[in-house]
Structure 1
Amino acid sequence: MVLSVLRQVCRSLCVVAFAAAVAACSGPSKPVPKELGANIGLIGVKSAWTAQVGPLDATTQAHVVGAQVLLSSANGTVTALQGETGRVVWQLGVGAPLVSGVGGDGQTFAVVSEAGELIALSSDKVLWRQRMGALSLTTPLVAGARVFTLSADRTVTAFDAASGQRLWQMQRTSDPLVLGQAGVLMAVGDTLVVGVAGRLLGLNPLNGAARWEVPVAVSRGTNEVERLVDLVAGVSRLQSNVCVRSYQAAVACVDASKGALLWNKAAAGMTGLAGDSEYVFGTEADSKLMAWSRSSGERVWVSETLRWRGLGTPLVAGQTLVVGDSSGLLHFLSRTDGAPMDRASTDGSSIVGAPVLVGKTLIAVTQKGGVFAFRPE
C-alpha cells in the first residue's frame, strides 16, 4: 500500500513537471523575476542568530511550541531550538528520512518517515512507531492525547498518543492523482478540521464521524492535472473563522463552528494563506501578492512588486507582511497596501514553509537546513 501511494504521489509530481516542461518548450521562455532595486530599509531588520539543522524536505513547516521552534530534517533528525537565542534545547535522531514537519503538544511529538511510518517521540527517545499504510506529507496533529494524521490517499487516522494504538480511520475515495504537498489538518475547538480533495470537513475527534462538510472547489478540467483541487497547508484562523486555499482554484473562508461557507473567490495560487482580523493574504502562482477582506472576500489590493520570484506562504507580523522567495530572500511589506518596506537574506536556497514568530523573533528556514532569526528594530 505504501509503495502504491508513493507511486501515486510520484506520478502526480511527474505529470505536473511534464506539463510544465511541455509548456516551457512550446511557449515563451521562463518569465524573468522583477528587479528588486535598492533595499529601502524602513524597518531596520537585524539578524538575531543562525543555526543549521540539516537539509529539509520542501513540504516541511517549522512548528512553534511555547518558546521553542521544532524542525525535522530530511536526514532523520528532530531538533528543538530556543526561539530567542537559537540554543539547541534537544535533538533526536529517529533513524529514518523524514518528509513531514513536527507536530507536538509540548510533551509528545510526531513526524512521518519517507517509508510512511508515523513516529512518536519525546525530547529524549522514540516512544512508538506505526505503519500508516500510506505516505503523508502533512504534519501530524497532536491534541487531546491523540495523534492525528492525513495521508496522501486522503485517509484520516487517529492514534492513541501514549501507546500508538489505532483508534479510528476515515477514508474517502481518492482521485487518480494526489498533490505532493502538505494538506489541512487542525483542531478548532472540539472539532477536527481536515482538507479532503476540494472540501473542508469537520470531524468528531473521538470517532471520526463527520459533523459538517463544506465544498471549497469543484474538480474541473479535461485532464487529471487540471482536476486537482486539494486544499493546501497554510491556514489563516481567527477563532472559528478558517480561511483556506484550494490548489490553483480558490480561496475561501469557513465558519468552522457551524460548517458554513462565508465566501469563496477564484484564485490561482499553490501555497497557504496568512491573515489577521481585517485581511487574508496569499500569493498567486506568478508571485502576485493579494489581500482579501476577511469579512467579505472582496479584493483589497494586489502587488506585482515580487512577481515571478517564487513566493511561499506569508506571515503577518503586526503591521508587516513577511514572505520568503525561492532565492532565500525574506521580503517585508506593508499589510495595508503591499508596499515594500525591507528585506533580509539567508543562504541563497529556497525558504521552506511560512516564516514563524517566537515572541518578537522572526524565524525562517531554508531548504539547505539553515535557520535564520531576525528582529525588527
Structure 2
Amino acid sequence: MAPRLLLLVAAASLLSSGCATISDTVDKINPFAKSAVKMTPLASFSPTVTARSLWSASAGKAGDYVFVPAVVGNAVFVAGRDGTISRLEDGKTVWKIATGQTLSAGVGADNRLVVVGTPKGEVLAYAAADGKALWQARVSSEVLAAPTVGENGVAVRSGDNRVFLLDAGDGGRKWAYQRATPTLSIRGAGSPVFADQFLFVGFPGGRLVALSLQNGAPVWEGPVAQPKGATELDRVADVVAPPVVEGRQICAVAFQGKVACFDMGQGGALVWSRELSSATGLALDGRYLFVTDDKGAVHALDRLTGSSLWKQDKLLNRRVSGPAVLRGLIAVADGEGFVHFLSREDGSFAGRLKTDGTPVRSSVQLLGSNFLVQTAGGDVSVIEAQ
C-alpha cells in the first residue's frame, strides 16, 4: 500500500484500537459508517413556496463517487460511474455516449469541452456539441473532483492532492503542482477554481493556495484552519469544498477547522475567520455567506464580518449538501434525497421536495431561475420553487 494513506482507507485499521475519539471522527465524515448517528426526523411545517420538478433524467448511478452536473447556458452535462456522459436540454437528451471506462469524477464543461476523470487517473475530453472524443491525458492518481474547464485550460485535482493544468486543445500538460500534505486526509476534494488570474485550490492542512496560471507556482496561501489535536485523525483539517468568489473576496471552509474570507486585491490578506467545520460547501449571495456544517446545520454569516445572522439546525445528521442561493431561497439536499428550501432572511423552512430517495452528495446547482440536483442513484432533477 502507498505510504500516504487516505483517511477512509486508514479508518478500518485504526478503528480496531477501540479509541472513541478515532471512531467518532471517522463516523462523522464517513456517510457509509454502520455506527453513524441516526438522521433527525423531518419536522412538519407550513410551506410558503411551491416546489415542483420541471423535468428529470437519468445520469447513471454514482457508486461510491461524487458526480456534479455542469451547466453551460441551457445545457446540462451529466455523467455516471458506468461511463456514460449525456448532454441534456429541457429534459431531452441531445447526445449520450459510452466512454467504455469506469468514471470517478465529472463533469467539467464549457461551450467547447466536456471533461471527466477515471479511477486510473485518466482525463477524458469530448466535444460539447456532439460528444465526439477529442483527447485523453493522464495524471498521477485517481480523479475524485470534477475537472475545471476555463479559458486558460483544464485544471485537474488528483487523489494524491497534486494539481495539473492541461491544454484545452490537446490535453498536453502545462504544469503540475505538488506540496507536502499530512499523513491522513479526507478521500475526495473540491474542484479547483479559476479567479483573479489565479487557480485556487484547497489542501489538507487547512490551506487555500493561489497558483500562477503561467507556471503553477504558489503566489500566496491563506490559512483557513490550523491542524490541532492529540491524534492524526483529530488533526485532519482539510479544505475539501471548492472556494467561492464574489468581487475581490474569496472564502473557503475546512473540515474540523474554520470558515475564512480573504481579500484577493490585497494579496490574500485575511478579512475574517471563525470556527466552523464543513466538508460539503458554501455559497455567497450579496451580504450573505451560507455554509452547511459537518453536523447538517445551515449557517448564514455576514460576508464582510463573519458574524452569525441565523442558523437552521433541524436537519442535523441528515448528511446535508452544500447550498445554492436563488431569489431569496437557500436550497440544500440530504442523504434521503430530499431537497429543502430555506428563507434567505431567517433560515425558516419554505418548501421541500423528494427526489429518488438516494443521497445528494454534491452541492445543489443553479440552472437559470431553477435549482438542479443529481442524486447518487443517478436522478437528475430541475426544480422550480416559487
TM over 0.5: same fold? Answer: yes
- Aligned residue in 2 for 1:303: 312
In structure 2, what is the Cα distance between the partners aligned to 1:360 and 1:292?
Answer: 24
Q: Does residue 69 of structure 1 match 2:76?
A: yes
In structure 1, what is the Cα distance between the partners aligned to 2:148 and 2:24?
Answer: 38
Q: How far apart are 1:14 and its partner, in Å?
A: 4.3
Question: Structure 1 residues 209 and 230, CA, compared in 2 at 3 Å: closer, same or farther?
Answer: same
The answer as to whether partners of 1:160 and 1:166 remain within 8 angstroms in 2 is yes
Q: Which moved more, 1:65-74 or 1:319-328?
A: 65-74
In structure 2, what is the Cα distance between the partners aligned to 1:331 and 1:174?
Answer: 36
Question: What secondary structure does 2:306 align onto?
Answer: coil
Matched to 1:71, the amino acid is V
Q: Deviations over 1:57-94 (max 9, x none)?
A: 54222221111122221111112211xx2111222222
Q: How far apart are 1:9 and its partner, in Å?
A: 6.1
In structure 1, what is the Cα distance between the partners aligned to 2:342 and 2:309?
Answer: 15
In structure 2, what is the Cα distance between the partners aligned to 1:367 and 1:183?
Answer: 17
- Aligned residue in 2 for 1:165: 172
Question: Structure 1 residues 77 and 334, CA, compared in 2 at 3 Å: closer, same or farther?
Answer: same
In structure 2, what is the Cα distance between the partners aligned to 1:242 and 1:155?
Answer: 21
Q: Does residue 235 of structure 1 match 2:233?
A: no
Q: How far apart are 1:275 and its partner, in Å?
A: 2.1
The answer as to whether partners of 2:239 and 2:279 remain within 8 angstroms in 1 is no
Question: What secondary structure does 2:105 align onto?
Answer: coil
Q: Percent identity?
A: 31
In structure 2, what is the Cα distance between the partners aligned to 1:146 and 1:211?
Answer: 19
- Aligned residue in 1 for 2:190: 183
The answer as to whether partners of 2:53 and 2:384 remain within 8 angstroms in 1 is yes
Q: Which of 53, 59, 75 is 1:53 aligned to? A: 59
In structure 2, what is the Cα distance between the partners aligned to 1:89 and 1:376?
Answer: 26
Gaps of 5+ in 1: none
The answer as to whether partners of 2:140 and 2:162 remain within 8 angstroms in 1 is no
Question: What secondary structure does 1:220 align onto?
Answer: coil
Q: Does residue 87 of structure 1 match 2:92?
A: yes
In structure 1, what is the Cα distance between the partners aligned to 2:149 and 2:245?
Answer: 18
- Aligned residue in 2 for 1:226: 234
Matched to 2:312, the amino acid is S
In structure 2, what is the Cα distance between the partners aligned to 1:259 and 1:134?
Answer: 30
- Aligned residue in 2 for 1:328: 337
Q: How far apart are 1:216 and its partner, in Å?
A: 0.9
Q: Which of 141, 147, 168 is 2:154 aligned to? A: 147
Question: What secondary structure does 2:270 align onto?
Answer: strand
Q: Does residue 214 of structure 1 match 2:219?
A: no
Question: What secondary structure does 2:106 align onto?
Answer: coil
In structure 2, what is the Cα distance between the partners aligned to 1:160 and 1:354?
Answer: 27
Gaps of 5+ in 2: 28-34
Q: How far apart are 1:32 and its partner, in Å?
A: 4.2
Q: Between the two structures, name the one with larger relative contact order (CA 8 Å, sep ≥ 6).
A: 1
The answer as to whether partners of 1:201 and 1:214 remain within 8 angstroms in 2 is yes
Q: Deviations over 1:117-136 (max 9, x none)?
A: 11122132222222212222
Q: How far apart are 1:235 and its partner, in Å?
A: 3.2
Q: How far apart are 1:13 and its partner, in Å?
A: 5.7
- Aligned residue in 2 for 1:192: 199
- Aligned residue in 2 for 1:121: 126
Q: Which moved more, 1:143-152 or 1:29-38?
A: 29-38
Question: Structure 1 residues 116 and 20, CA, compared in 2 at 3 Å: closer, same or farther?
Answer: farther
Q: Deviations over 1:200-224 (max 9, x none)?
A: 1111112112221111111222222
Matched to 1:357, the amino acid is L
Q: Does residue 43 of structure 1 match 2:49?
A: yes
The answer as to whether partners of 1:152 and 1:178 remain within 8 angstroms in 2 is no
Q: Deviations over 1:314-336 (max 9, x none)?
A: 11112111110101101111111
| TM-score, structure 2 normalization | 0.89
In structure 1, what is the Cα distance between the partners aligned to 2:3 and 2:327?
Answer: 41
The answer as to whether partners of 1:16 and 1:225 remain within 8 angstroms in 2 is no
Question: What secondary structure does 1:371 align onto?
Answer: strand
Q: Deviations over 1:130-156 (max 9, x none)?
A: 221222212111222521112222211
Question: Structure 1 residues 33 and 165, CA, compared in 2 at 3 Å: closer, same or farther?
Answer: closer
The answer as to whether partners of 1:62 and 1:353 remain within 8 angstroms in 2 is no
| TM-score, structure 1 normalization | 0.91
In structure 1, what is the Cα distance between the partners aligned to 2:191 and 2:229?
Answer: 23
In structure 1, what is the Cα distance between the partners aligned to 2:161 and 2:296?
Answer: 28
The answer as to whether partners of 1:158 and 1:169 remain within 8 angstroms in 2 is yes
